[in-house]
Amino acid sequence: MLALAQKSNWQAVAELEAERQPVIADLFQHPDIQQHLGELAETLRDVIELDRQCILLGEQERTQKSEELKTLQHGKRAVFAYLDNSH
C-alpha cells in the first residue's frame, strides 16, 4: 500500500484497504490468536507505521491539490474579471 501511495495511486490504496479490513477482522477471530499475540503485536506495529506513512503522503497530496485548486480558482476569477471589463 505504501508503494502505491508513494505513486499517488489512491484508488489502488483504497481497494487494498477494503480487502485488508475483513482479513484483519478475521485475524482477531482466529482461535489460536492468544498463542501468537507477541508476533502479531510486532507485525501490527509495522502495519501501523506503514499506515502512518501512507496517511502522511495522502495529507501532503491533499494539501498540494487544495493549493492547486485555489490557484485555478484565482485564475478563473481573473479571466472572468478580464472578460467582464473588456467589453
- Mean residue pLDDT of the chain comes to 93
Number of domains in the chain: 1
- Does the global pTM surpass 0.85? no
What is residue 30's DSSP assignment? Answer: -
Q: Which of 1, 29, 24, 25 is nearest to 13 (CA)?
A: 1
How far is the C-alpha of 37 from the C-alpha of 51, rounded, in Å? 20
How far is the C-alpha of 52 from the C-alpha of 56, rounded, in Å? 6
- Tell me the pLDDT tens digit for each residue of 30-85: 999 999 999 899 999 999 999 999 999 999 999 999 999 999 999 898 888 888 88
Q: Tell me, what's the pLDDT at 84?
A: 87
> Which range of residues forms the domain containing residue 38?
2-85
